[in-house]
Structures are given as structure tokens and as C-alpha cells.
Amino acid sequence: MSGVRKKEYGLSDDTWTRATRELEDMGLLESWYVRNQDHQGEPRRRKVYKLLTPWSN
């Protein structure tokens, strides 16, 4: 989640990290990194999240 979006929801970096870890530990969330390019074409890593539900594959 971008810094702007975190501020909109009032989430600190620590809260986001802790919540992500807790959801992963409970088997409700998966996260991984993908290669991406920024708007100037520079390579970077981006973290992707998948919310796991009884209906997800």
C-alpha cells in the first residue's frame, strides 16, 4: 500500500507490517514480490497481496 493510501486510512508502517504478518500467520493472506518498473522505466520490486478466502484458488 502506498504511503498516501496508508495515511488516508491512518496506518503506520508498524501497524501495516504487524497486521500483514498476523494475517499471513493465520493463513488468510499471501504476499510476494514481483518485478516492476516505475514511471521512468527503472526496475523495482513491488509487494503483491492476495486475500485468501474459501472461494480463492
Q: What is residue 7's predicted lDDT score, i.e. its pLDDT?
A: 79
21: containing domain: 3-51
Per-residue pLDDT of 7-19, as tens digits, reads: 788 888 899 899 9
- What amino acid is encoded at 54 in this protein? P
Which alpha helices (DSSP H) does the chain contain, by range? Answer: 3-9, 13-25
Q: Does 57 fall in a domain?
A: no
Give me the number of domains the chain comprises. 1
Q: Does 56 fall in a domain?
A: no
Output the nine-digit C-alpha cell for 33. Answer: 514480490
Q: Does 10 fall in a domain?
A: yes
Q: Rounded to an integer, what distance in angstroms lies between the CA atom of residue 20 and that of residue 15? A: 8
Q: What is residue 18's predicted lDDT score, i.e. its pLDDT?
A: 95
Q: Rounded to an integer, what distance in angstroms lies between the CA atom of residue 46 and that of residue 33? A: 5
Q: Rounded to an integer, what distance in angstroms lies between the CA atom of residue 13 and that of residue 7? A: 10
Q: What is residue 34's predicted lDDT score, i.e. its pLDDT?
A: 94
Task: Yes or no: say if 6 and 16 are a contact pair by the CB < 8 Å rule.
Answer: yes
Per-residue pLDDT of 1-57, as tens digits, reads: 667 777 788 888 899 899 999 999 999 999 999 998 777 878 888 889 999 988 876
Q: Does 14 fall in a domain?
A: yes
